[in-house]
Structure 1
Amino acid sequence: MTVAIYLPAESKTEDWCRMMGDLMPDWTFHSMRNVPDPEAVTYCVVWRPQTGDMKAFPNLKAIVSIGAGIDHVLDDEELPDVPIIRTVGTDLTQRMKEYVALHVLRHHRAMPALQASQARGEWKPIVVPPAPQRRVGVMGLGNLGAEAARLLSVIGFDVVGWSRSPKEIEGVRTFSGSAGFGEFLDGTEILVNLLPLTEATRGILNADTFNRLKRGAAVINAARGPHMVDEDLLEALASGQIAAATLDVFHVEPLPSDHPFWSHPQITVTPHVASLIDAPTGSRIIARNLRTFEETGTVADLADARRGY
């Protein structure tokens, strides 16, 4: 089997080709920009491919997304009609759980305000309620969201969750669909977004959503940048409706150096590292999925392009 790999940085693409080749010596791996015979390619492994890249391969069997989301694949307006395989695994889930727990606890224990006091040389204790008296809402209850919600519940938070379709998670009160969205938001003090990016969820972090939260709430976005309406967040911060935000994803990445998020005192910016997939881990997961798909025609991590995830 021949596989074409694409990442925006050619040096990273070559690294992935070498690692995949070591794991699957009976397969052939090429950078998508240096494929000698397009007709030989049966799989593409990609992160943020360019429109029209994959239509060059007439015998394509499947596309592998280097990540849990497939929105970057679906952005290709000339995408071949083949199955799309997501890349998920316990390592990636663990990393997201760590990130969410870290920043929920930071906001819960008022760490941004304490750090600001330190910078001013002020001794200013802040008393916060115990975790069971703090409601945390998790939007998106797939693999990553469900595990993050479970962990927050174990820590002791009053956890609520919202998803497109009904879900049951031990220790978490769940809501679903448009009918349950408002009730999910009401009283939520820390909102965590882990939704897939679809046309239905694009721009969901907007003024209407912020205004339903408890005044002074915090927002954590570790899903996709286009979920956020940037101007609405800035206005909500200015009004005090939102007290603080942690943002890991953005409309344009890397975040432009002149973007107001960088210097905003109430915003923590992280460079899309919440569940960053490293090449050794990702290669092992993808190698397993490629072999399974080649042998059986399917894998557990097959995405549904119609739903967008």
Structure 2
Amino acid sequence: MRAFFAAPAVLWDDWAPAMRAACPELDLQREGDPQGFDAVLYAPGYPEDGSAMDFAPFTSARIVQSLWAGVERIVGNATLTQPLCRMVDPGLAQGMVEYCTGWALRAHLGMDRYAQDGVWRNEIVPPLAAERSVVVLGTGELGAAVARALAGLGFRVTGWSASGRPVEGIAVLGGERLDAALGRAEILISLLPDTPGTRGLLDARTLSLLPRGAVLINPGRGTLVVEDDLLAALDAGRLGHAVLDVFRTEPLPPAHPFWAHPGVTVTPHVAAETRPSTAATVVADNLRRAMAGEALRYLVDRARGY
């Protein structure tokens, strides 16, 4: 089995040994005749000259396996006719759970209220988690994991997705009930994918539905947020704070108003990362399935975009 490593060169030293350990029968290469490869492992940033990858020459490839959870950068590539699978990695999910629970707890407990200035503020007592409503937008693998973790801490958790697909132990609203979900979101966490239906979803109208003082945590996709509307909601005091890990332009330009706004915390797209040590077994399983003609895991629905 031969696979082409269509990823930035900086990733090779981590992925090559991980894949050799997880899939000893795999011959992983960074160059060669495209027609001689059974699979393509893809990560954004390839080709490194900034051009779009041409998948057409890989006529023997039975699978294109994304090494990232998001596939929005290639799902619309007209040359990509091979089956495309997104990454669902236990390590990535755990990283996202830790990021979201950490920032949700910080917001819930009001940690930033306790300035280290010698003033004794013991009149500020945070509520218990059971008194706080959290809404998770997007209840796929990552969103469901985050929702279950927060529910395990005692928060009143509601999920929302376009399909309304059930998540065990979590109340999930679907489709047309987005406004109802937003209306109860004292803490709103967005893990929605980047699709035509989600772009600009959080605009002036939808942000106005949040309870006054709500906190937004967005480690999903930057395209979800209308940036000027978010800043206006913060300036008006309707929104209490925004923790943003993803942006329409990355890296976030130094002059962008998010950096200096007191109501915004910027993190540099670090919420969750694919870790070769855990993801290699996922890739190996899908490569073996492709070679055996079996059903692939996490196959992307091109019409939905994820």
TM-score (norm. length: structure 2): 0.90
Give the counterpart of 1:255 among 244, 252, 255: 252
Distance 1:80 1:165 in 2: 26
Distance 1:51 1:10 in 2: 16
2:62 and 2:82 in contact (8 A); partners too: yes
Give the counterpart of 2:40 among 44, 55, 75: 44
1:162 and 1:175 in contact (8 A); partners too: yes
Q: Residue 192 of structure 1: CA displacement?
A: 0.5
Give the counterpart of 2:187 among 190, 194, 211: 190
1:5 and 1:30 in contact (8 A); partners too: yes
Runs of 4+ in 1 over 6 A off after TM superposition: none
Distance 1:284 1:171 in 2: 28
Read off the aligned partner of 1:68 and give its amino acid letter.
Answer: A
What does residue 100 of structure 2 align with? 100
Tell me, yes or no, if structure 1 residue 305 matches structure 2 residue 306.
no
Q: How does 1:21-36 map to 2 (within 5 A)?
A: 21-31=20-30, 35-36=31-32
Q: Residue 170 of structure 1: CA displacement?
A: 4.3
Which structure has greater helix proportion? 1
Q: CA distance change for structure 1 residues 272 and 100 in 2, over 3 Å: closer, same or farther?
A: same
SS in 1 for 2:56: helix
Q: Deviations over 1:96-151 (max 9, x none)?
A: 2221111111111112333xx22x55433432322222111110111111121122
What does residue 287 of structure 1 align with? 284
What does residue 275 of structure 1 align with? 272
Distance 1:85 1:173 in 2: 28
Q: Residue 27 of structure 1: CA displacement?
A: 2.3
Read off the aligned partner of 1:72 and give its amino acid letter.
Answer: R
Distance 2:112 2:140 in 1: 29
Read off the aligned partner of 1:280 and give its amino acid letter.
Answer: S
Read off the aligned partner of 1:40 and give its amino acid letter.
Answer: G
What does residue 62 of structure 1 align with? 63
What does residue 79 of structure 1 align with? 79
Distance 1:248 1:213 in 2: 20
SS in 1 for 2:19: helix
TM-score (norm. length: structure 1): 0.89
Distance 2:192 2:76 in 1: 17
Number of residue-to-residue matches in the alignment? 300
Q: Deviations over 1:11-34 (max 9, x none)?
A: 223542343234334322122xxx
What does residue 172 of structure 1 align with? 170
Identity, % of aligned positions? 38
Deviating more after overlay: 277-286 vs 138-147: 277-286
Read off the aligned partner of 2:244 and give its amino acid letter.
Answer: L
Any gaps of 5 or more consecutive residues in structure 2? none
Distance 2:297 2:11 in 1: 27
1:185 and 1:209 in contact (8 A); partners too: yes
Distance 1:171 1:19 in 2: 35
Q: Deviations over 1:31-75 (max 9, x none)?
A: 2xxx22121122111122442332232222211111222212214
SS in 2 for 1:226: helix
What does residue 134 of structure 1 align with? 132
Give the counterpart of 1:147 among 145, 148, 164: 145
Distance 1:73 1:122 in 2: 53
Q: Calculate the aligned-residue CA RMSD, in Å.
A: 2.0
SS in 1 for 2:206: helix
2:147 and 2:157 in contact (8 A); partners too: yes
